[in-house]
C-alpha cells in the first residue's frame, strides 16, 4: 500500500508556513482506545507508540547516542549558542537536559518527550542541515528547477547559525556513513513522509524533513536496522504531529484495523503521512476538534 507521490514540488518557506496554518484549521477525531504496549525487540508493528498514553511524562529513548554532536555543531557554527539561547529565553529557557545536549561531550541516547520534542526537532534540524551527505548534494534539493537548495523552509528558515545557513549546508562531517549505511538512509528516507509537506524525507524541504534526515543518518551510523528506523521514525513523527496521527489512527479503526497491527512503514507512506495523504484521510473522518499541526520554523 506504500505509494510514491505522483508529483514532487518545491515548498518554500512561506508555502510551508501556509500549509501549517491549514493543518491547524482542519479537524481531527480522537477515538479513545486503551492500548497495552510492551517495549523490547521490534516485531513487525507490535511496538507502535500508544497515542492514548502520550503525555508530558512519556519518554521515548531513541537507538541513537548523541555523544558530543551538540558541541561539534556549536564549534562549527551550525548552531550559534547566543542566538539559540536567546530564542529559548522567550520560551522559559533551556532545561538542564537541553543544555547537556548542546554543551556536554558524553551524552547517551537521545530521549524525546512531549515536552522536549521542539528542541529535539531544532537540534536534529541543524544536524541534518550541516552534516555532509549526498542526499543534500545530489538529491532533489539541488534540482535546478527549484532555483537552488537555499530556497526552502529547511534552509532559508534556519536562522540560528553563525553566518548564513547555506554556508553550513552539507559542510561538516559530524557522522560519516559507510556505503551500506548511506544506501539504507536513502532507501528509508524515500519512504518517510510528514503531514506538513508533500515530499519525502529524501526531499527535506522543511524543518521536519531535515530533522528526520538527520535522525536517519544518526541511527544508520550506529547500526540501527531498517525495521527499527521506521519504527522510531514513526514514534518521533507522532510526537511532532500528535493530532494528525490520532486522526490517522481513527481512520484505521473506522475500518476495523487496529493501529498496532499496521506496519510503521505503511503509516509513514505518502498515502497517510504526506500533507495530501493526510487531507484524504481527514476527509474520511468526521472532524470533532481542531487539529494542531507542527509549524515549519525554529
Q: pTM to 2 decimals?
A: 0.81
pLDDT tens figures, 143-161: 999 999 999 999 999 999 9
> Band of the pLDDT at 12, cuts 50, 70, 90?
very low
The answer to whether residues 146 and 10 touch, using CB atoms and an 8 Å cutoff, is: yes
Q: Which residues contact 26 (CB under 8 A, 6 or more apart)?
A: 279, 282, 287, 290, 291
Burial group, residue 59, by CB count within 10 angstroms (0-12, 13-18, 19+): exposed
Q: Give the CA angle between residues 163, 169, 173 to the nearest 5°.
A: 110
pLDDT tens figures, 82-125: 999 999 999 999 999 999 999 999 999 999 999 999 999 999 99
Q: Whole-angstrom distance between the N-terminal and C-terminal Cα of the chain?
A: 33
pLDDT tens figures, 170-222: 999 999 999 999 999 999 999 999 999 999 999 999 999 999 999 999 999 99
Average pLDDT of the segment spanning 224-228: 98
Q: Give pLDDT, residue 296.
A: 65
Q: Give pLDDT, residue 4.
A: 33
On the question of pLDDT at 248 being above 90, the answer is yes
Q: Name the helix (H) or strand (E) containing 180.
A: helix 179-189
* Nearest alpha carbon to residue 124 among 49, 221, 209: 209
> Band of the pLDDT at 295, cuts 50, 70, 90?
low
pLDDT tens figures, 31-45: 222 222 222 222 222
Amino acid at each position: 500500500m506504500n505509494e510514491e507521490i505522483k508529483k514532487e514540488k518545491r515548498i518554500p518557506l512561506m508555502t510551508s508556513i501556509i500549509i501549517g496554518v491549514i493543518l491547524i484549521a482542519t479537524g481531527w477525531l480522537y477515538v479513545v482506545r486503551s492500548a497495552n504496549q510492551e517495549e523490547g525487540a521490534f516485531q513487525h508493528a507490535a511496538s507502535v507508540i500508544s497515542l492514548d498514553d502520550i503525555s508530558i511524562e512519556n519518554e521515548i529513548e531513541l537507538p541513537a547516542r548523541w555523544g558530543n554532536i551538540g558541541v561539534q555543531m556549536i564549534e562549527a557554527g551550525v548552531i550559534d549558542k547566543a542566538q539559540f539561547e536567546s530564542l529559548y529565553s522567550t520560551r522559559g529557557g533551556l532545561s538542564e537536559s537541553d543544555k547537556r545536549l548542546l554543551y556536554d561531550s558524553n551524552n547517551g541516547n537521545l530521549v524525546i518527550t512531549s515536552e522536549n520534542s521542539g528542541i529535539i526537532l531544532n537540534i536534529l534540524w541543524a544536524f541534518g542541515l550541516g552534516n555532509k551527505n549526498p542526499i543534500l548534494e545530489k538529491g532533489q534539493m539541488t534540482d535546478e528547477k527549484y532555483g537552488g537548495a537555499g530556497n526552502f523552509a529547511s534552509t532559508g528558515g534556519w536562522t540560528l547559525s553563525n553566518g548564513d545557513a547555506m554556508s553550513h549546508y552539507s559542510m561538516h562531517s559530524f557522522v560519516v556513513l559507510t556505503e551500506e549505511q548511506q544506501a539504507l538512509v536513502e532507501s528509508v528516507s524515500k519512504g518517510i513522509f510528514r503531514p506538513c509537506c508533500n515530499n519525502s524525507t529524501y526531499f527535506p524541504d522543511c524543518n521536519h524533513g531535515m530533522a528526520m534526515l538527520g535522525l536517519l543518518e544518526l541511527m544508520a551510523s550506529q547500526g540501527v536496522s531498517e525495521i527499527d528506523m521506521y519504527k522510531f521514525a514513526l514514534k518521533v513523527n507522532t510526537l511532532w504531529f500528535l493530532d494528525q496521527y490520532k486522526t490517522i489512527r481513527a481512520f484505521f479503526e473506522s475500518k476495523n484495523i487496529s493501529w498496532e497491527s499496521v506496519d510503521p512503514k505503511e503509516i509513514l507512506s505518502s498515502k497517510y503521512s504526506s500533507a495530501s495523504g493526510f487531507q484524504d484521510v481527514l476527509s474520511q473522518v468526521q472532524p470533532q476538534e481542531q487539529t494542531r499541526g507542527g509549524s515549519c520554523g525554529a
